Amino acid sequence: MRVGVLTGGGDCPGLNAVIRAVVRKGIEVHDWEFVGFRSGWQGPMTGQSRPLGLSDVEDILTRGGTILRSSRTNPYNVDGGVEKIRKVLADQSVDALIAIGGEDTLGVAKRLTDDGIGVVGVPKTIDNDLGATDYTFGFDTAVSIATEAIDRLHTTAESHHRALVVEVMGRHAGWIALHSGLAGGASVILVPERHFSVDQVVSWVERRFEKEYAPIIVVAEGALPEGGEEKLLTGEKDAFGHVRLGGIGTWLADEIATRTGKESRAVVLGHVQRGGTPTAYDRVLATRFGLHAVDAVADGDFGTMVALRGTDIVRVKLSEATAELKTVPVERYEEAEVFFG
């Protein structure tokens, strides 16, 4: 059997660990051949590919990013995109695909399966917002990076007795903000799932100053003030209809400074959260996902995604995994509020 592998969407720590696990098990257990398609779904549309052998994946476990590169290409937005994929797979004698990605990449995988192309999905996103799996790899690394940044910011905030607003990733789900904010001892955590009152935020900030502490506010990029609008870096949309968010941290820092009279600064972590070496947890989870994805291909169980349930790796339908985003439940956010201010 000849199997294609691709990584789509934003890069993420642990992608290379999945590729390594897939190739090693596929070759050593099943004697399969592997081809890596470059740049997400663009690869199988254009034929951009490279062979993947044992020597190609030997030393990539600890590397961030993806050796296959990535993109936000949507073949269903390209004229004849699906037929191009069919032709490339036939020309390169590829029998099945393993697609590693988030909601957009796996949404395409689900539609391709419906159109008769055999795909198995592996869940990847630092946002941890993909349905049907308890955790996605990349999330633990992103939270660890954000937490370390918050730890470092505490000392400079205290030194200058100023408020610091830390903007983290999270378009529609606030998992990174919630986990890093709790782990880093933030004074306020703001998530997209719950619109926030600027007056309440200012109250928490002032309470912190009254205790002679400098407040740290962690805000997800998609968080919204009551009656406000998303802060956009640009109005342009990608192939899946997403606009680039950004700016809520700077806006909120200015509001805090104006209303409290205290010095306030914003720190935007941006792509730092998704770069570099994956944590041990993400390496293990990504490896387990890769091993089980090979089993799914061997069983011909296409249209499925490997998922973490408790401590077990199971298979779920791609339709279930992409049906809706996994957002922060209200009760999870409310239990954290006891630490605010």
Return the closest-CA partner of residue 6 out of 39, 33, 54, 45.
39
322 is known to lie in a ligand binding site: no
10 is known to lie in a ligand binding site: yes
Instruction: Tell me whether residue 79 is one of the annotated catalytic residues.
Output: no
Q: Which of 59, 114, 115, 127 is catalytic?
A: 127
Question: Counting Cβ atoms within 10 Å, is residue 100 exposed (0-12), middle (13-18) or buried (19+)?
Answer: buried
206 is known to lie in a ligand binding site: no
273 is known to lie in a ligand binding site: yes
> What whole-number distance in Å separates Cα of residue 11 and Cα of residue 102?
10
11 is known to lie in a ligand binding site: no
117 is known to lie in a ligand binding site: no
Within 10 angstroms of residue 261's Cβ, the number of other Cβ atoms is: 9
171 is known to lie in a ligand binding site: yes
> What whole-number distance in Å separates Cα of residue 190 and Cα of residue 251?
13
Spell out the residues 6+ positions from residue 119 whose beta carbon is closer than 8 angstroms to its own: 96, 97, 98, 99, 109, 110, 112, 113, 302, 303, 318
> What whole-number distance in Å separates Cα of residue 45 and Cα of residue 58?
28
195 is known to lie in a ligand binding site: no
271 is known to lie in a ligand binding site: yes
48 is known to lie in a ligand binding site: no
103 is known to lie in a ligand binding site: yes
113 is known to lie in a ligand binding site: no
Whether 303 and 110 have beta carbons less than 8 Å apart is answered as yes
Return the closest-CA partner of residue 278 out of 7, 15, 8.
15
Q: Which residues are annotated as a binding site?
A: 10, 103, 125-127, 162, 169-171, 221, 265, 271-274
Q: Which residues are annotated as a binding site for diphosphate?
A: 10
Q: Which residues are annotated as a binding site for Mg(2+)?
A: 103
Catalytic residue numbers? 127
